[in-house]
Structures are given as C-alpha cells and as structure tokens.
Amino acid sequence: MNVIEALQQRKSVRAFLDKEIEEDKINAILAAARHAPSGANTQPWQVAVVTGETKQKLQTQIESTFREGDKGKADYTYYPEKWIEPYRSRRLACGVQMYSTLKIARKDKKQQLDQWAANYRAFDAPVMLLFFMDRHMQTGSFIDYGMFLQSIMLVAVEQGLATCPQASLADYAEIIKTALEYPQDDILLCGMSLGYEDKEALVNSYRTPREEADSFTRYFK
C-alpha cells in the first residue's frame, strides 16, 4: 500500500469488531508515527493507550456524566463560536449524512442522544487512544500534533486497522486526567478509536465528500 492509497482508504469508523489488538501492533503504529515532524523537534505528544477494564470504567463514567446532562469542559475551544459559510453547511451536511444513513429522524432525540453517547465509549473499539500535551506549548504544537495524528491513522490503515479521531472525548478532560493520573494542567487534545472495522455496520457504509483540490488552491507564477 502506498501513501495515496492509505489516504484514500482512511475514514472515520464508528463501529468496530469485538476483536482485540495485539500490544505489539499498537506499539508498531506509535513507533512509526513518532517520525512525524514537529517545530524544533519538540515532539509534544503524550499518548495514553486505554484498553480492557480501565477503558470500561472510564467510558462508563464519561457516558454516565454525559447522560446526566453535564456537557463537560474541554481544555481549549475546538469549533468556532459562530459558524459562517461554507463551514456551516459542511458541518450540517456531515450530520445529516450520518443520521439519514442510520435512519434516525430529526425529531428522534433519544436515538440521536444514544448515537452521540457512543462517542464516549470510543464506539466500542477495543482501544481508546488519548492525546495529551504540556500546557506550556503553544499553537504551533497543535499543528505538530495534527501531523502526528494523521501519521497514526495512515499507519493503522496499512496495518488493516480502522480509526476515528474524536474531539468529543476531550469534552471530559478533567474526568479523564483524574482517572489516568495525568496533571490537570496538561491539555487533552482529543481521543481516537482504534480497532478492526465492522464492515457490516450501517454507520460505516457512507463516506463524507471532499472538495476538489482546485476549489482551495491558487497558483502564483
């Protein structure tokens, strides 16, 4: 598999097989991703690999908190406070595509809630990855982290695995840092589900569209 094929095959998977991943395979993915570039070679990534009983306890606590109406508080603002075009339309289309695929009606708030709650179980993947960063680091380190995360996802594809990057897991930063004994001053950037794709699951049957390159590219000669 080449890089272009991995980029084209990668997608956000939201249903996984009940199949464990060997620790050696997880280590191999992270060992490859560590070659991602970072400004001044700072390598700001800190990764928690959460599985088994620890994952079960943590996701139960997060989901229970969510269902009680506590929306949590992330360590930073991910989305804009006010949506403008074309981002507003793309965001709405993304949600509509998923819910229409699952045949969840707009008025069916319970099913919508249940589907969103699956985020906090890492979609029942066997592995929940959580990504932390020292709060002393600045905006450039977020850029570095994006390259590291993409590297993980591409190597996972090569290894026959699937992923879903999840900003939603960062909503409950305090709970996660307390449970895993990370300093509260650290930044929890996001999480990621990792496992084998359930290719029969309806939620994995659609792909979100991408803009053509000429729509966002300008040449100056």
> Can you read off the two tokens belonging to residue 200?
């029969």
Q: Using only C-alpha atoms, what is the Rg of the chain?
A: 18
Could you report the per-residue pLDDT of 71-82, keeping only the tens digit for each? 999 999 999 999
| Mean of per-residue pLDDT scores for the chain | 96
Q: Residues 14, 197: contact at Cβ < 8 Å?
A: no
> In the structure, what pLDDT confidence band is assigned to residue 106 with cuts at 50, 70 and 90?
confident
> In the structure, what pLDDT confidence band is assigned to residue 219 with cuts at 50, 70 and 90?
very high
Q: Could you give the 3-state DSSP secondary structure of residue 90?
A: helix
The pTM (predicted TM-score) of the whole model is 0.95
Structural domain boundaries in the chain: 3-207
Q: Please, what CATH class does the domain formed by 3-207 belong to?
A: alpha beta
Burial label, 218 (beta-carbon count in 10 A; 0-12, 13-18, 19+): exposed
Residue 1's pLDDT is 87
Residues 157, 8, 155: CA angle, nearest 5 degrees: 25
Q: Residues 169, 119: contact at Cβ < 8 Å?
A: yes
